[in-house]
Amino acid sequence: MLKSSSLHSSCNLFRCYCTIVLWTILSLIVVSGLYGQNHPPPDTVAGIPVNYDQAKVGSYTLPNPLQFVNGKQVTSPKQWFQIRRPQIQEWYKEDQFGHAPGRPSDMAFDVFDEGTPAFGGKAIRRQVTVYFSKDKSGPKMDLLIYTPANAQKPVPLLLTPDFYPNSSMVDDPGVKRGKMWNREHKRVPAPKSAKFGKINVPMLLSHGIGVALVYYGDIEPDFSGGIKYGIEGLYLEKGQTKPGSDQWGAIAAWAWGLSRAMDYLETDNMVDSKHVALMGISRLGKTVLWAAARDQRFALVIASCSGEGGAALSRRNFGETIAHLTAPSRFPYQFCANYQKFAHHVDRLPVDGNMLLSLIAPRPVLLQTGNKDLWSDPKGEFLAAVDAGKVYRLLGKQGLGTDQWPPAGKPILHTIGYYMHNGGHGTVPSDWNIFIKFMQRYLVKN
């Protein structure tokens, strides 16, 4: 029997854990569109009406990724990579995600777990603290890596940014217990046995795919005013209290952190750094798309329900819009300040979801969504992929191969792929079968 003090401590820990999990779930419900059949999505968010009627989408014209500003067409891969692609990428930096710095000259890696058997001997675990500056009390992130124990050569790997610290995302008691940001914007110990959204590491390892995890809150907090605690604050100039109008927001900061994880993975002799994939959900779906768009070292991307600001078409008046994203009470801090200029003038935005996907070409990208996730506009993501297919074809790869929106449960697994499950926002366990099939096709060497 537990002593009363131990019981009291356990109860407090349980209540803290329940509060964190409940807050996370409620946050996803409110801000990400996780609505069930009995809970229809709201028709107004932040005082702004929301349209869920396909008949009311309205007409629009997409910017053409293969058309120069002067009206001439991109006709060769050389023109794409040397001229058009850099131009589109610059627009994204200027008007949506913001400009970000490069690799810090004084970044350091502390490999505090050099290789420990895990998961009953099926895996070798490594843990690394990535220090973003010489000041080790400043922003840093913990990187957790698993590779198959029986691997005879470097393995391909899936890197996932997560909403919880690493210790909460896997069933491995040997992982360093992290800290996370709570709703009061305080760093609190991570729950030891979170049941929300864990990664099935052994399943991926059994298919020859390594796994790496980072907690996005280690890089930059996900709330307004979090800049003083994260990596963005480290780069503020003297007298500056917030980034400039064209400087990075939180999504660009998280993407920057993934590139720093890749910097380490390139030094790990058990990882095939030429075959590292990214996978992220919701705002982290936007993050992995932008990370791959700005850093061509990532070989493959899986974006789950990235929605507005990600793969979905902003010019479609359906579900979440730029106005909803950038409303003062919601997520303007996730983007550069310039993005707000297009909240009610989306037709003036020089880019759209089709162009974000085109920046990843010719590398494989899979868009996963849910047919009930109206907030994220699953059809808008599909249409973006259809249009981006022209860039994939120019570069010798296959587009979606159809302009007919497929029903839930029917995957399209071409170089640019699309899969919609029967359900809402985020992933369900069966989605991972599709993810593994996609990675086996394009990431794992035969």
**Residues labelled as active-site residues:** 282, 425
Going by their DSSP bridges, the two strands 123-131 and 108-118 should be labelled as: antiparallel
Q: Measuring CA to CA, which residue among 379, 376, 266, 392 is closest to residue 325? A: 376
CA 243 to chain centroid, in Å, comes to: 22
CA distance 246 to 52: 32
Query: What tokens does 214 get?
Result: 């980072």
Hey, what's the torsion of the CAs at 17, 20, 25, 27, to 10 degrees?
A: 180
In DSSP terms, 124 is beta-bridged to 117, 147
Label residues 33-49 b or e (16+ Cβ within 10 Å = b). bbbeeeeebeeebeeee
CA distance 58 to 313: 12
Place of tokens 């895990």: 118
CA distance 408 to 420: 5
